[in-house]
A and B are shown apart, each in its own frame.
Chain A
């Protein structure tokens, strides 16, 4: 159909093995992530979920090639990740579109870096923009777009070069609830067409369940994998599924896992006794149940 060809399904296996990442401070080294192993199979949609500061973004940045593990390794299709490359497309929470480029120039950028000639890359960019309903904005600067539109551009910009894996770092975190739901639907649609492997970082439980094949749940700092949950919901997925009993059961399970970790993350000292000292009656329940 176009000059732009999606990656075949046979590619895009991400493997993170025995991953540790620590950084040095005046008080010695601080462990951000320890002993993480995870796999994204070709064409799979994987989410990493965890409380804020658990190192899930750190992990994603290491897969992208921005950070080097202190121990262990990250490989994509067996090749060790050393530095960022167009093989691993990334979508950022703050859109990160280049403000000095028009929408189309933003989408073209990766193709330009690949050395594709001007006419060909213009065609590809326009095809992609057309697919996502943004063609009429091709010559506008990103500043004039809404958040949802910017992130659509961010996603197709990352996909334009045909990466083996798409990395998304809380991509919808800055959007309002309605737009977020639409964006999730758009992302599953794109993914179902392309079957690019996806590694998606979020703190939103519903989002993780709705989108993923499997969800890795991380602990509070230092981050480790606490659980790996398969999401057996059928595809294609629709918003209506979010009310199904299956979905709600998954949600409840993940919720309790996350809540425990979030409590740890907001302060280890907070316990039932301390709370009683403040005159708060827990009616015999544990703190985790109340919060």
Chain B
């Protein structure tokens, strides 16, 4: 909403429209006139106003950019002069070398295959975790018996890191691919479940009462109150779960994979292609960033009422 509209919004507020009977004590509504449009403003004024309104964001962007540039510069200097102060930068690739490696990799379908395979594993593992954990959390949150029965199991399983599941997973699943997806699934499952449960526990009981007073039955209370009310927590769970999914995936790929960006990074070390190690790492970072941004976007679409 722009400023002018906000102004008229505020002005209109203290004068609610009369409801029939005489309202001698009430002020007459006067703000019915449309907000008067200011005369055409020169572009420079607009630019100036835009600048004052967005100073904070511009500042944050500028500082972020400078900070990133300094990081690259430090990296460049440390590797150029092969600094060796206990921590050894002797074999660490320089940013230029990594950039060369990247240009080479983009022309190579093999690198792209690694990336796509990792993304596919994340997609399968993460989506199946969400499909199982969200409904389970909602049902556990609503029905005490289910919660009391399942919660102890989940509490024992939860602290086991997904990586610790690697040997078990290889035994459980017939193919390597499936066991890696399973580990990704496990990594994201518990954060999603726990946050969904948390969301269900935080539902305002007065809203449930309000719905009951309006004639809502169990099913619609669940669908119209509990579910939307816990959505913000569900999305927190999805964001955290996505992070853990990547951690688990990369670890699993390094240990038991033949493809994938984690495998690529580990293989680069074995093959003494040090620039590819950094390339693999940066690629993982960018993919992780992108996937959590995607979740945030989905969250905004699913919850148009929330401000952020």
A residues sitting closer than 8 Å to B (CB atoms) are: 64-66, 83-86, 88-90, 92, 94, 96, 98-101, 109-110, 113-114, 131-133, 141, 143, 146, 148-149, 152, 157-158, 161, 178-179, 181-182, 185-186, 188-190, 192-193, 236, 238-240
A189 near B212 with CB under 8 A, answer no
Q: What 12 new A-B contacts, CB under 8 Å, besides A192-B21, A240-B25?
A: A66-B209, A89-B214, A90-B209, A90-B213, A96-B210, A98-B207, A98-B224, A131-B19, A152-B16, A158-B214, A178-B14, A190-B19
The distance in angstroms between the C-alpha atoms of A99 and B230, with both chains bound, is 12
Q: How many residues of B contact A (CB 8 A)?
A: 36
Selected contact of A94 from candidates B25, B206, B213, CB within 8 Å:
B206
Residue pair B305, A90 in contact (C-beta under 8 Å): no
B13: chain A residues at CB < 8 Å are: 146, 148-149
Query: B207's closest neighbor in chain A, by CB?
Result: A96
Contact of A240 among B24, B210, B220, B303 (CB under 8 A): B24
Q: Is B216 engaged at the interface, CB distance under 8 Å to the other chain?
A: yes
Report chain B residues within 8 Å CB of A193. 19-21
26 CB-based A-B contacts, threshold 8 Å: A83-B212, A85-B215, A90-B210, A96-B204, A96-B210, A98-B225, A99-B305, A100-B231, A100-B303, A100-B305, A109-B214, A109-B216, A113-B215, A113-B220, A158-B213, A161-B214, A161-B215, A181-B25, A185-B26, A188-B21, A189-B18, A189-B20, A192-B21, A236-B22, A238-B24, A239-B24
CB of B128 within 8 Å of the partner chain: no
Separation in Å of the B13 CB from the closest CB of chain A? Answer: 5
Against A, the Cβ 8 Å flags (1 = close, 0 = not) of B212-252 are 11111100100011001101000000000000000000000
| Contact string against A for B residues 19-34, beta-carbon threshold 8 Å, 1 for contact and 0 otherwise | 1111111100100000
Q: Which partner residue on chain A sits nearest B204 by CB separation?
A: A96
Binding site for A on B (CB under 8 A): 13-14, 16-26, 29, 204, 206-207, 209-217, 220, 224-225, 228-229, 231, 303-305, 307
Distance in Å: Cβ of A98 to nearest Cβ of chain B: 6
The closest CB in chain B to the CB of A142 belongs to B305
CB distance from B15 to the nearest CB of A (A): 8
Q: A152 contacts which chain B residues (CB < 8 A)? A: 16
Tell me whether B305 and A113 are in contact (CB under 8 A). Answer: no
A100: chain B residues at CB < 8 Å are 228-229, 231, 303, 305
Inter-chain CA distance A238–B212, complex, in Å, is 34
Q: How far is the CA of A243 from the CA of B25 in the complex (A)?
A: 13
Query: Smallest distance from the beta carbon of A216 to chain B beta carbons, Å?
Result: 22
B29, B204, B210, B225, most chain A CB atoms within 10 A? B210
User: Provided the pairs A86-B213, A161-B215, A240-B25 are in contact, do residues A179 and B19 lie with their beta carbons within 8 angstroms?
Assistant: no
Complex Cα distance, B209 from A94, in Å, reads: 12
CB neighbours (8 Å) of A96 from chain B are 204, 206-207, 209-210
Chain A min CB distance to B203 (Å): 11
Residues of B within 8 A of A146 (CB): 13
CA separation between A113 and B25, bound complex, in Å?
37
- Partner pick for B215 among A114, A149, A238, CB 8 A cutoff: A114
Q: Which of B14, B17, B303 has the most CB of A within 10 A?
A: B17
A238 to B21, CA, bound (A): 10
Please tell me if the beta carbons of B228 and A98 are within 8 angstroms of each other in the complex: yes
- Tell me the minimal C-beta distance from B33 to chain A in angstroms: 14
Residues of B within 8 A of A192 (CB): 20-21
- Chain B residues with Cβ below 8 Å from A64 are 209, 213
Point out the residues of chain A lying under 8 angstroms from B210, CB to CB: 90, 92, 96, 98
Partner of A84 from the list B209, B303, B307 (CB cut-off 8 Å) is: B209
Q: Do residues A182 and B18 form an inter-chain contact, with CB atoms below 8 A?
A: no
CB of A143 within 8 A of CB of B305, answer: yes
Pick the residue among A92, A161, A179 that contacts B14 (CB under 8 A). A179
Which single residue of chain B is at the shortest CB-CB distance from A167?
B213
A100 vs B206: C-alpha distance when bound (angstroms)? 15
Q: Which of A109, A110, A132, A236 is within 8 Å of B17, CB to CB?
A: A132
Measured CB to CB, the nearest residue on chain A to B307 is A143
Contact assessment for B16 and A132 in the assembled complex, using a CB-CB cutoff below 8 Å? yes
Bound-complex Cα distance A101 to B29 (A): 28
- A248 CB, min distance to chain B CBs, angstroms: 18
Shortest Cβ distance from residue A215 to the other chain B in the assembled complex, whole angstroms: 22
Residues of A within 8 A of B217 (CB): 113
Closest to A137 in B: B9
A85 CA / B213 CA spacing, docked (Å): 5
Report Cα–Cα, A133/B216, bound state, in Å. 27
CB nearest to B214 among chain A residues: A110
Min distance, Cβ A33 to any Cβ of chain B, angstroms: 19
CA distance A100 to B227 in the complex (A): 10
Return chain A residues, CB-CB under 8 Å to B206: 92, 94, 96
